[in-house]
Amino acid sequence: MNIPELTFYCELKSEFLVKLFENRFVLDDLKTLKAKLSLGILDFSNERAQVIKKLNKFGIPVIAWLLLPEEDGYWFNADNYLKAGERYDEFIQWTKENKLDWDGIGLDIEPDINFLKDLREKKIKMLPGLIKRFSHKKKLLEAQLFYPKLVEKMHLDGYKVESYHIPLIIDERKADSTVLQRVIGLVDLNADKEVLMLYSSFLRPRGNEVLWQYASEAGSIGIGNTGGGVDLEGVIDIPPLTWDEFSQDLRTASKFGKPVHIFCLEGCVAQGFLERLITFKWDEEPSINDSSIVRIGRKGIQALLWTIQRPWVILATSLSLLSGLLLLKKKKKKSK
């Protein structure tokens, strides 16, 4: 069986990043697996530049996963698109100054990290704000115009671009809707490769079923979390994948013959997964549960998004029902 192309995410602060790649076995294992690295650009430090130069020297392809400071939202979205453009300009300057080589650019499209924290802490108090965001059509349109131009700029600079999306963007697309984009700030971005973040650890106990349902629609299949990532205590505070769960997801993903993105490298190293991948038996059959509930759930989500996008349908249906009830009542009165 052909082993899928593997890309590992790595999202570490500079001091921990340096320590990770002091381990020669990590470099050797990545090289043996012919794996790529999507490296979170949390800063433009000299320490981070030196690690990238080491990876360049070892022939390990590195994708620049662009991120913002947490106060600016961390991930790219409809609310911070101008900051995203400025971040790219800073990145280009840093790249030139340090003579860094990149295999491409990664754009992570997710809600503002501060919005997620507020949602956890304030809960129901956020409802009026969420309803107000529903009307943010102008802001979304501006972001929808800006990000393709940013991708075009990256292409002109010689870079391939991959996008990292939550799977619900596919359902929004199928529903011909912009509800999620307006309310939580997503942007349906077209890139050279679309990676769906199908992290089963976040979706237990049906994580593998969700993976199976969405994987065919991904350009690359994102699996995880093996332990790591940005600290979102109380928002994303769940146990990482076990080896058995990780193995199951790997084999499930391999069934689709697509590249696989693994979140994340530091978790794989900490749990001893990276070295075990060298002799991993890809040809063993995964045990896939009946995913009909997930499939039905997706249809329901799409129907809901389609309807909310078109409130006049709800109004027209309500008026029709009301008219029917009034007509029925009138007929009953006449019959008396």
Q: pLDDT tens for residues 218-229?
A: 999 999 999 988
Q: Are residues 40 and 169 in the same domain?
A: yes
Q: Is the pLDDT of residue 46 over 70?
A: yes
Residues 295-328: tens digit of each pLDDT: 999 999 999 999 999 876 666 555 555 555 555 5
Q: With 60 as the cut, is the pLDDT of residue 249 above it? A: yes
* Number of domains, the chain: 2
Nearest Cα to 186, choosing from 37, 305, 49, 78?
78
Please, which pLDDT band fits residue 119 given cuts at 50, 70 and 90? Answer: confident
Check pLDDT > 70 for residue 35: yes
Residue 73 is assigned to a structural domain of this protein: yes
Q: What is the mean pLDDT of the segment spanning 256-266?
A: 97
Helices (H), ranges, 157-264: 168-174, 179-184, 207-214, 243-254
Residues 173 and 118 in one domain: yes
The reply to whether 229 falls in a domain is: yes
State the pLDDT confidence band at 291, using cuts at 50, 70 and 90.
Answer: confident
Nearest to 130 by CA among 308, 10, 255, 3: 308
- Together in a domain, 87 and 160: yes
Task: Report if residue 178 sits inside a domain.
Answer: yes
Residue 56 pLDDT level (bands cut at 50, 70, 90): very high
Q: What is the pLDDT of residue 194?
A: 98
The candidate with the shortest Cα–Cα distance to 151, out of 93, 186, 192, is 192
- How large is the C-alpha radius of gyration of the chain? 23
- CA-CA-CA-CA dihedral for 304, 305, 307, 310, to nearest 10: 170
Question: Is 181 in the same domain as 299?
Answer: no
Residues 198 and 57 in one domain: yes
Are residues 128 and 239 located together in one domain of the fold? yes
pLDDT of residue 126: 62
Q: What pLDDT score does 137 carry? A: 86
- Are 76 and 217 in the same domain? yes
What does the pLDDT read at residue 178? 95
Kindly state whether residues 333 and 272 are assigned to the same domain: no
Domain range for 325 is 290-336
Task: Give the three-state DSSP class for 252.
Answer: helix
Does residue 256 surpass a pLDDT of 60?
yes
What pLDDT is stored for residue 163 in this prediction? 98
Question: Among 49-53, 111-115, 254-258, which stretch is predicted with the lowest mean pLDDT?
Answer: 111-115
Asked whether residue 135 falls in the same domain as residue 273, the answer is yes
In a domain, 1, yes or no: no
Instruction: Identify whether 82 is part of a domain.
Output: yes
φ, ψ for residue 121, nearest 5 deg = -80, -40
User: Which CATH number is 156's domain given?
Assistant: 3.20.20.80
Q: What would the pLDDT profile of 262-271 be if each residue is shown by its tens digit? A: 999 999 999 9
Same domain as 222, residue 325: no
Query: How far apart (Å, rounded) are the C-alpha atoms in residues 149 and 231?
Result: 31
Q: Output b/e per residue, 125-140; b: 16+ Cβ within 10 A.
A: eeeeeeeebeebeebb
Computed over every residue of the chain, the mean pLDDT equals 91
pLDDT at residue 25 tops 90: yes
Question: Beta strand 62-66 with 193-197: parallel, antiparallel or unpaired?
Answer: unpaired
* Mean pLDDT lowest among 131-135, 142-146, 293-297: 131-135
pLDDT band at 287 (very low <50, low <70, confident <90, very high): confident
Question: Which two tokens mark 317?
Answer: 């249906």
150: confidence class by pLDDT, cuts 50, 70, 90: very high
Residues 323 and 189 in one domain: no
pLDDT at 321: 57
Same domain, 335 and 197: no
